[in-house]
């Protein structure tokens, strides 16, 4: 990374520089949230921002989606490779969303600009955000059954939105012409341009103060120091090989194709090697994830284990040595492989990988969390009375860890992603929410229980509406328990039709028409448990039953606690003697308890 010695660097200026760049990133974040038109950006915060060096190395990030921050530097590097430093000019603004360049899916569009100081390229600033639409066969993106990238939307590969500060009308025109909701997309596009400009101004001010050369040297020192600190953390862990992975339900298009991802992490001294060898070949369905997104996901998992609270820089992104399968696979697909549902792979990798560290770093990780899930309710046909797309990833449960039940209502593994309030969504969209509650049945039981899933019931109010759901890992859940804790139950959806019939669907639903009065009931996955359920404090189990988190039957059969009605209505007391008996027999059971097996 660099050879600056510790002593040649001014530690005071290093701190001020590091802080100034981080403040710049936070300010970019604020600019995007406050000026965007798309609820996926301003409410859900499905975006990331970054400040990068002239070589595209990450200098600073801000709360958003870690995977986006993780791939932005790679996006910039591919732009540099495409145009060359001489092809990039002051005032240019670029757009890129190709999964083969960014790694994420085509809806996630990066807008970035070079920062010049004294006529020299010194940095890049930019953001990646989920657009409301990018054309393609499925409104709002996240195609669940595409077979090639061309069906997923219009691809940008570092085209210039602005050329030396002048608006490139042709590109704007082309974008507006290809989107179902051009007003929203163009509003967001300008918000992203404003975001990059905000960051650029701050970088320029910093260079005014210290000079561009010194800023570069100071940040090289910061990144080198981070790498040393991370490697010390790795070295402190016992050497070992951690094997994990997960199997998909299916590819999205071919019922017979049930691909799997293998992850083998080798800790050796201060090195971490992550191998994906043995992962299934590139899929015919859109569950592939671009190499850069997988790289960012590995970085995110390692940062969560080694340095969970600090901000990220290039050292976090480059820590692991990654071994890729030698031929195109789920984790390194090539054009025109479909990639629109890449998020399952990403979530599966990070959840199973962090959980696998329980063997070497039990005090740093937790049991597995739920697989990501999104639900769409929308009306986009030409004859719709009022076209709308309500699309939102729905939160679920995190895994437990010693001393704590898992958190509920979390957005996949990481990220500062909020939900849309019921009162806001009911005013904005022709849907009504009948319930928004904990799905307690999805928690993985344990001495410390996995977080609950989320129930949200949406009633369709407008004719010509349809629904789409994006769920995965329902056969082989990724919310793995640790040390006897049970695995969290996966997501499913229930459609309650106007005639009262109930249809339970575990798999993805593709753009299916729904009549007015239909209720789309989401039931998202819960987190895995930590420790055997029969080891849970009986008093806590009594409270769990009182609070309707655990049923009386579960208390008896799973947690091995006998309860009798308490003096106050709805409360329960522990029958200590009967509980002791139940627990004595439980020890016999646990010897033969089924351990989760992925068959990997």
Q: Which tokens in the block code for residue 247? A: 């199997």
Smallest CA-to-CA distance from 92 within 8, 41, 1, 163 is with 163
Torsion angle defined by CA atoms of residues 199, 103, 143 and 500, in that order, rounded to the nearest 10 degrees: -80
| Of the candidate residues 127, 314, 332, 354, the single one contacting other proteins (CB under 8 A) | 354
Q: Is 86 left (phi over 0), alpha (psi -120 to 50) or beta?
A: alpha
Residues within window 482-501 making contact with other proteins, judged by CB under 8 A: none
On the question of a cis peptide bond just before residue 336, with omega within 30 degrees of 0, the verdict is yes
CB of 460 to other proteins, least distance (A): 15
CB of 560 to other proteins, least distance (A): 22
Smallest CA-to-CA distance from 30 within 200, 201, 204, 191 is with 191
Q: Which stretch binds other proteins (CB under 8 A): 102-110, 238-246, 419-427, 509-517?
A: 419-427
Q: Which stretch binds other proteins (CB under 8 A): 82-90, 272-280, 429-437, 589-597?
A: 429-437
CB of 599 to other proteins, least distance (A): 26
- The reply to whether 366 sits near other proteins by the rule CB under 8 A is yes
Residues within window 518-547 making contact with other proteins, judged by CB under 8 A: 543, 546-547
| Of the candidate residues 77, 89, 364, 583, the single one contacting other proteins (CB under 8 A) | 364
Nearer to other proteins by C-beta: 266 or 418?
A: 418
- The reply to whether 569 sits near other proteins by the rule CB under 8 A is yes
- The reply to whether 424 sits near other proteins by the rule CB under 8 A is yes
Q: Which x/- pattern, by CB under 8 A, does the window 272-301 give for other proteins?
A: ----------------------------x-
Q: Which stretch binds other proteins (CB under 8 A): 40-48, 133-141, 237-245, 498-506?
A: 40-48
- The reply to whether 9 sits near other proteins by the rule CB under 8 A is yes
CB of 358 to other proteins, least distance (A): 11
Nearer to other proteins by C-beta: 250 or 388?
A: 388
Contact call for residues 494 and 521 (beta carbons, < 8 A): yes
**DSSP one-letter string for 491-544:** -EEEEE-TTS-EEEE-S-EEEEEE-TT-EEEEE---PPPBS-GGGS-HHHHHHH
- Phi, psi at residue 477, to the nearest 5°? -60, 150
Nearer to other proteins by C-beta: 14 or 558?
A: 14
**Gap between the Cα atoms of 188 and 182, Å rounded:** 10
CB-side neighbour CA atoms (13 Å) of 281: 3
Contact call for residues 395 and 341 (beta carbons, < 8 A): no
Smallest CA-to-CA distance from 596 within 395, 257, 414, 351 is with 351
The SS3 of residue 397 is coil
Residues within window 67-96 making contact with other proteins, judged by CB under 8 A: none
Q: Which x/- pattern, by CB under 8 A, does the window 182-221 give for other proteins?
A: -xx--x--xx--x--xx---------x------------x
CB of 413 to other proteins, least distance (A): 7
| Of the candidate residues 415, 526, 531, 533, the single one contacting other proteins (CB under 8 A) | 415
CB of 571 to other proteins, least distance (A): 8
In which residue are the tokens 């410390």 written? 448
Nearer to other proteins by C-beta: 223 or 445?
A: 223
- CA distances to 21, 132, 579 from 113, rounded to whole Å, are 16, 22, 65
C-beta atoms surrounding 256 within 10 Å: 6
- The reply to whether 304 sits near other proteins by the rule CB under 8 A is yes
Q: Which stretch binds other proteins (CB under 8 A): 10-18, 94-102, 158-166, 585-593?
A: 10-18
- The reply to whether 459 sits near other proteins by the rule CB under 8 A is no
Applying CB under 8 A, the site for other proteins has a residue count of 98
């Amino acid at each position: 990374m660099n050879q600056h010695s510790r002593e040649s660097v001014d530690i005071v200026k290093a701190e001020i520089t590091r802080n100034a760049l981080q403040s710049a990133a936070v300010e970019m974040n604020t600019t995007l949230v406050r000026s965007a038109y798309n609820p996926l950006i301003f409410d859900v915060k499905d975006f990331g921002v970054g400040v990068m060096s002239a070589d595209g190395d990450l200098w600073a990030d801000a709360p958003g989606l870690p995977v986006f921050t993780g791939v932005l530097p790679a996006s910039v590097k591919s732009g540099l490779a495409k145009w060359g430093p001489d092809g990039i000019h002051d005032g240019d603004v670029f757009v890129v969303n190709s999964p083969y360049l960014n790694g994420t899916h085509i809806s996630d569009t990066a807008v970035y600009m070079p920062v010049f100081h004294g006529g020299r390229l010194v940095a890049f600033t930019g953001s990646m955000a989920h657009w409301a639409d990018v054309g393609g066969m499925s409104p709002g993106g996240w195609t669940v059954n595409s077979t090639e990238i061309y069906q997923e939307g219009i691809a940008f590969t570092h085209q210039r939105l602005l050329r030396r500060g002048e608006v490139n009308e042709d590109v704007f025109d082309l974008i507006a012409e290809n989107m179902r909701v051009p007003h929203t997309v163009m509003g967001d596009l300008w918000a992203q341009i404003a975001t990059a400009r905000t960051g650029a101004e701050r970088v320029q001010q910093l260079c005014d103060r210290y000079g561009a050369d010194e800023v570069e040297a100071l940040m090289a020192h910061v990144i080198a120091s981070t790498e040393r600190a991370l490697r010390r953390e790795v070295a402190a862990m016992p050497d070992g090989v951690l094997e994990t992975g997960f199997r998909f339900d299916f590819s999205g298009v071919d019922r017979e194709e049930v691909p799997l991802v293998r992850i083998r992490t080798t800790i050796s001294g201060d090195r971490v090697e992550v191998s994906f060898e043995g992962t299934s070949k590139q899929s015919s369905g859109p569950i592939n994830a671009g190499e850069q997104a997988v790289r960012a996901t590995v970085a995110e998992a390692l940062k969560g284990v080694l340095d969970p609270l600090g901000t990220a820089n290039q050292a976090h992104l480059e820590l692991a040595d990654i071994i890729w399968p030698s031929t195109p696979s789920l984790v390194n697909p090539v054009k025109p492989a479909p990639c629109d549902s890449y998020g399952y792979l990403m979530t599966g990798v990070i959840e199973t990988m962090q959980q696998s560290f329980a063997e070497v770093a039990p005090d740093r990780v937790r049991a597995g969390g739920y697989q990501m899930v999104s639900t769409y309710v929308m009306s986009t046909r030409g004859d719709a009375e009022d076209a709308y797309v309500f699309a939102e990833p729905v939160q679920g449960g995190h895994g437990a860890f010693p001393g704590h039940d898992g958190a509920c209502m979390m957005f996949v593994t990481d990220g500062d992603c909020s939900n849309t309030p019921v009162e806001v969504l009911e005013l904005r969209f022709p849907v009504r929410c009948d319930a928004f509650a904990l799905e307690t049945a999805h928690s993985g039981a344990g001495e410390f229980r996995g977080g609950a899933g989320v129930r949200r019931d949406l009633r369709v109010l407008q004719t010509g509406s349809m629904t789409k759901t994006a769920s995965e890992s329902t056969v082989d859940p990724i919310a793995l328990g640790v040390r006897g804790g049970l695995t969290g139950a996966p997501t499913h959806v229930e459609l309650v039709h106007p005639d009262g019939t109930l249809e339970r669907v575990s798999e993805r639903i593709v753009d299916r028409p729904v009549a007015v009065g239909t209720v789309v009931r989401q039931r998202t996955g819960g987190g895995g448990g930590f420790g055997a359920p029969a080891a849970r404090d009986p008093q806590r189990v009594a409270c769990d039953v009182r609070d309707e988190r655990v049923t009386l039957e579960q208390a008896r059969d799973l947690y091995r606690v006998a309860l009798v009605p308490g003096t106050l209505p709805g409360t329960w007391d522990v029958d200590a003697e009967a509980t002791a008996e139940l627990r004595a027999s439980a020890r016999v059971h646990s010897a033969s308890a089924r351990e989760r097996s992925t068959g990997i």
